[in-house]
């Protein structure tokens, strides 16, 4: 028995020394791993190609939408009212895509909205961009003068200043000073100054006033033929009390009769073809236009100071603050963007009648410079003894409805968001 076992051991040793089976298993395992790796590389490569192509398509579509947006902005720079007759521009085909732009007209404190769609048909990709567009208005500046501007040594002006003539600054201006002529003076320029800038064309305000009259007429907020001396408007929140002025213009104690009370229209514009006296508080966006003079005979301010409500006064002639009126407050608040196309903005005063202070928070644009006080030496003998001019920064984002635009080819894209 033992001899048989011994005779078989050499064969067993030979079998144990044969590793061909292990090698085969190793080859199979390595082949499988290589196959899996190759498959994964192919899949990753395909995904990378697909993602790259998708990203290329998305990038092209975004550029296409942006091209449409720039094309519409180009038209707006040439014609700020382009959106009225062209609410849609396109579809326009480019080399490998198509863009279309639609416009939604501004309303109240909502700016012009442009929606640009860019499509790459070969890649089945579409991207949409929405932009808010605002036009610079005459309310961009604390002072905008169509003539030379001289800033006194005791003056502190909070905001930007611009003149179609020369600027002499002996005071302190916190904003940038711009002039079509020269800038001089030993005053303080917090944000510097720039000379020889293009002129602002005040004659173009006529177009905006015509638009205001049309809008007011359509919303039953246009008034003419008073049969008296003009109209008085008392703002109260979102309503306006309109009266006929029948007397008192020489005494400052106005005599009036009620015409009607109305809600400030959704378009926000009231227009008068005669002199108009304005006062009160407002809680909505409102612009009052006048073909003659506008008088501010009492406080004019928002009822909620922290809300984005702004008021505009646009006169074809002058805007006048009659400080000598018996009912005028000693400390007056006037919060409005004011524009006097052919005249000025000034205080109407009588010798010996003085008031303590007027604070104008807003902006002032005028054809010629006006004054709010009469001096004898260093003493105020009529008008307001103190004057404070503070720019309202809300006017940049929320200008009053239909407030005249600068029409200098500039515009602001305030937001740019992809949907």
pLDDT in tens, 254-274: 999 999 999 999 999 999 999
Structure tokens at 360: 């104008």
φ, ψ (nearest 5 deg) of residue 37: -65, -45
Q: What is the DSSP letter of 107?
A: B
For the chain, give the percent of residues with pLDDT over 90. 66
Q: What pLDDT digit, counting tens, does each position of 109-141 carry?
A: 678 899 999 999 988 899 999 999 888 899 999
Residues 104 and 221 grouped into a single domain: no
Instruction: Categorize the per-residue pLDDT at 21 as very low, low, confident or very high, splitting at 50, 70 and 90.
Output: low
Residues 35 and 72 grouped into a single domain: no
In whole angstroms, give the CA distance from residue 346 to residue 321.
Answer: 6
Residues 13 and 97 grouped into a single domain: no
Instruction: Categorize the per-residue pLDDT at 40 as very low, low, confident or very high, splitting at 50, 70 and 90.
Output: confident
Residues 323 and 376 grouped into a single domain: yes
In whole angstroms, give the CA distance from residue 167 to residue 406.
Answer: 20
In whole angstroms, give the CA distance from residue 180 to residue 196.
Answer: 4
The mean pLDDT of 191-202, rounded to a whole number, is: 94
Residues 96 and 213 grouped into a single domain: no
pLDDT score of 51? 63
Residues 23 and 101 grouped into a single domain: no
Residues 238 and 123 grouped into a single domain: no
Note whether residue 373 is domain-resident: yes
φ, ψ (nearest 5 deg) of residue 210: -65, -40
Note whether residue 185 is domain-resident: no
Instruction: Categorize the per-residue pLDDT at 413 as very low, low, confident or very high, splitting at 50, 70 and 90.
Output: confident
The mean pLDDT of 154-164, rounded to a whole number, is: 91
Non-local (6+) Cβ contacts of 120 within 8 A are 57, 60, 61, 64, 96, 97, 126
Query: What CA–CA distances, in Å, run from 84 to 81, 87, 89, 183, 210?
Result: 6, 6, 12, 39, 15
Note whether residue 173 is domain-resident: no
In which domain, by residue range, is 44 found? Answer: 2-48
* pTM (two decimals): 0.79
Structure tokens at 277: 């006296």
Please give the residue that has the higher pLDDT: either 150 or 338: 338
In whole angstroms, give the CA distance from residue 30 to residue 129.
Answer: 52
pLDDT score of 13? 53
User: Is 58 buried (19+), middle (13-18) or exposed (0-12) by CB count in 10 A?
Assistant: middle
pLDDT score of 397? 82
Residues 19 and 81 grouped into a single domain: no
pLDDT score of 34? 78
Query: Strand runs (DSSP E) across 112-263, as ranges?
Result: 112-120, 125-134, 143-145, 149-151, 156-158, 161-163, 167-169, 172-173, 177-179, 183-184, 188-189, 193-195, 222-223, 230-237, 239-247, 255-263
Question: Does residue 14 surpass a pLDDT of 90?
Answer: no
Residues 287 and 383 grouped into a single domain: yes
Structure tokens at 205: 């305000």
Residues 10 and 107 grouped into a single domain: no
Q: Which of 81-85, 90-94, 232-236 has the highest mean pLDDT?
A: 232-236
CA 328 to chain CA mean position, Å = 33
The mean pLDDT of 79-98, rounded to a whole number, is: 88
Q: Decide: helix, strand or coil at residue 385.
A: strand
Residues 99 and 126 grouped into a single domain: yes
Question: Does residue 202 surpass a pLDDT of 60?
Answer: yes
Residues 279 and 393 grouped into a single domain: yes
Note whether residue 92 is domain-resident: yes
pLDDT score of 154? 79
Beta-bridge partner residues of 117? 100, 128
Non-local (6+) Cβ contacts of 213 within 8 A are 222, 271, 273, 289, 291
In whole angstroms, give the CA distance from residue 242 to residue 95.
Answer: 59
Structure tokens at 388: 């404070």
Note whether residue 213 is domain-resident: yes
Note whether residue 151 is domain-resident: no
pLDDT score of 160? 94
* Contact status, residue 145 vs residue 366, Cβ threshold 8 Å: yes
Question: Does residue 152 surpass a pLDDT of 90?
Answer: no
The mean pLDDT of 207-225, rounded to a whole number, is: 95
Helix (H) or strand (E) holding 32: helix 20-78
Query: Strand runs (DSSP E) across 196-350, as ranges?
Result: 222-223, 230-237, 239-247, 255-263, 269-272, 276-282, 286-290, 294-302, 311-315, 319-322, 331-340, 345-348
Kindly tell me the sign of the dihedral angle through the C-alpha atoms of 321, 322, 323, 325: negative
Please give the residue that has the higher pLDDT: either 114 or 23: 114
Torsion of CA 241, 245, 247, 248, to 10 degrees: 60
Q: What pLDDT digit, counting tens, does each position of 389-406 carry?
A: 999 999 988 899 999 988
Note whether residue 157 is domain-resident: no
For the chain, the domain total comes to 3
* Average pLDDT value for the chain: 89
Note whether residue 80 is domain-resident: yes
Structure tokens at 137: 């208005």
Question: Does residue 382 surpass a pLDDT of 60?
Answer: yes
């Amino acid at each position: 028995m033992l001899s048989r076992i011994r005779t078989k051991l050499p064969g067993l040793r030979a079998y144990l020394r044969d590793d061909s089976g292990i090698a085969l298993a190793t080859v199979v395992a390595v082949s499988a791993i290589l196959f899996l790796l190759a498959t994964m590389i192919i899949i990753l490569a395909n995904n990378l190609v697909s993602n790259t192509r998708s990203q290329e398509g998305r990038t092209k579509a975004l550029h296409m939408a942006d091209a449409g947006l720039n094309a519409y902005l180009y038209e707006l720079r040439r014609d700020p009212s382009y959106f009225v007759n062209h609410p849609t521009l396109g579809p326009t085909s480019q080399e490998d895509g198509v863009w279309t732009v639609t416009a939604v007209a501004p309303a109240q404190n909502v700016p012009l909205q442009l929606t640009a769609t860019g499509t790459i048909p070969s890649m089945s990709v579409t991207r949409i961009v929405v932009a808010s567009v605002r036009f610079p208005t005459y309310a961009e500046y604390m002072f905008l003068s169509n003539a030379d501007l001289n800033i006194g040594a005791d003056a502190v002006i909070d905001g930007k200043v611009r003149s179609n003539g020369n600027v002499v600054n002996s005071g302190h201006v916190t904003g940038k000073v711009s002039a079509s002529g020269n800038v001089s003076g030993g005053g303080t320029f917090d944000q510097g100054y720039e000379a020889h800038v293009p002129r602002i064309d005040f004659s173009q305000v006529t177009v905006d006033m015509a638009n205001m009259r049309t809008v007011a007429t359509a919303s039953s907020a246009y008034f003419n033929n008073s049969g008296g001396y003009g109209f008085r408007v008392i703002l109260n929140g979102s309503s306006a009390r309109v009266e006929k002025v029948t007397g008192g213009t020489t005494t400052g104690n106005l005599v009036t009769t009620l015409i009607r009370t109305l809600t400030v229209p959704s378009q926000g514009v009231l227009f008068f073809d005669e002199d108009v006296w304005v006062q009160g508080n407002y809680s909505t966006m409102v612009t009052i236009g006048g073909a003659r003079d506008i008088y501010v005979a009492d406080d004019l301010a928002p009822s909620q100071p922290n809300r984005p409500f702004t008021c505009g006064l646009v006169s074809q002639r002058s805007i006048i603050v009659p400080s000598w009126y018996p009912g005028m407050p000693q400390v007056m608040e006037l919060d409005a963007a004011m524009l006097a196309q052919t005249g000025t903005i000034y205080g109407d005063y009588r010798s010996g009648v003085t008031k303590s202070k007027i604070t104008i928070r807003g902006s002032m644009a005028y054809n010629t410079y006006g004054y709010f006080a009469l001096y004898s030496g260093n003493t105020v003998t009529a008008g307001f003894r103190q004057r404070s001019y503070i720019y309202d920064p809300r006017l940049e984002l929320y200008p009053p409805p239909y407030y005249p635009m600068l029409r200098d080819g500039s515009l602001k894209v305030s937001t740019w968001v992809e949907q």
